[in-house]
Amino acid sequence: MRLLDFLFENEEEDNRKRTYTPQEYFITTKETPINNVEDALEDLNNYGEYKSYQQNVDVNVQQAKEFLAGPPGAPPVKKAKAKVLWNSSNDVWRNAKLKDIKNRVPSIDTSELIDLSYDALPQEVKDSFYNLRYTKTDLDDLITSLTSVASILSWDKQDNLLVFPREKNKNIPGDDTLEKILRTIMKSAGIKDFIINKQDAEIEKKPKTKEKDTPSISSYNILKNADGSILTVDDAEDLKDDLESRISELKPETSDLKIKVIPSKQDPNNAILQISGFKSNKERSGVQQKVQDYINRLFERKLKRNLQIKAGIIK
């Protein structure tokens, strides 16, 4: 008996030889193309209250959240980290942090602080260094600003069937939550003829794994210039050209890196510069550091040139 026959016509037959354990969910549809289901699974806007699970699998979200809310732990842990980061960071990072503080607490005067040590900073600045009341709404807004592509769930595909192996979805705490997420996505996407089944099933062949980068490493997304301003489409295109000409410096061996400009859905004048194609998290971290160093150097050269122009040294 084929698996789809099992699901649609004979769900009471439960004594057959099984291939999957009862802990694995299946989802299929009666008429909707399964590719539409996959598109829905990859659209982060369909995840509703479960969007925050993106932080468990997306390094960009983790780093951005830590910049705003600090590392996990009690306030003393966060303050200790703040001191280390401030004292070890360059002017670009310090400027971005002062802008973050000013955005959250407009009454704080953050001018003329960039050259001070952490201990010399006003107490109100140190008290506001991180957002200690960071909420789920704040996290959801942050995730929305960073990406629209979900990487929360992993699945295998066979014909008109998607299987969600438990070992590939360990970031989801429990089977009930996994089912709720799937139902939320289908409802948000307007897919009504779906069937979710948790039982084992006899299959004719081993499911074909959904094609993905192996291993699946999240992209590195650049949303802001070094001065903290939002990246425009023109900024992103210029930076893309610069980085593509330096691929051999970023990754000396044969490179699979892909660099593309993604216009913002909120404002078509702004954009995200996405770098993908990493083969490991170590490689991603190395490239990210090189890219950030290069962006910072560009910004510092620009500042220096502007100062020289103002001083009349150059025209």
- Taking each continuous run of H as one helix and of E as one strand, the counts in the chain are 11, 8
Question: How far apart are alpha carbons 109 and 54 in whole angstroms?
Answer: 35
Domain boundaries, the chain: 3-57+147-209, 220-310
Residues in contact with 96: Cβ distance below 8 Å, sequence separation at least 6, in sequence order = 67, 224, 228
Distance CA 165, CA 236 (A): 38
pLDDT in tens, the chain (315 residues): 455 554 555 444 444 444 434 457 889 899 999 999 999 999 999 999 999 999 988 888 998 999 999 998 888 899 999 999 999 999 999 999 999 999 999 999 999 999 999 999 999 999 999 998 899 999 999 999 888 889 999 998 877 889 898 888 888 988 889 999 999 999 999 999 999 987 553 444 445 555 444 446 777 888 777 777 777 888 888 888 888 887 777 766 656 788 888 887 667 788 888 888 877 777 877 888 888 888 877 777 777 777 777 777 776
What is the C-alpha separation between 101 and 103, in angstroms, rounded? 5
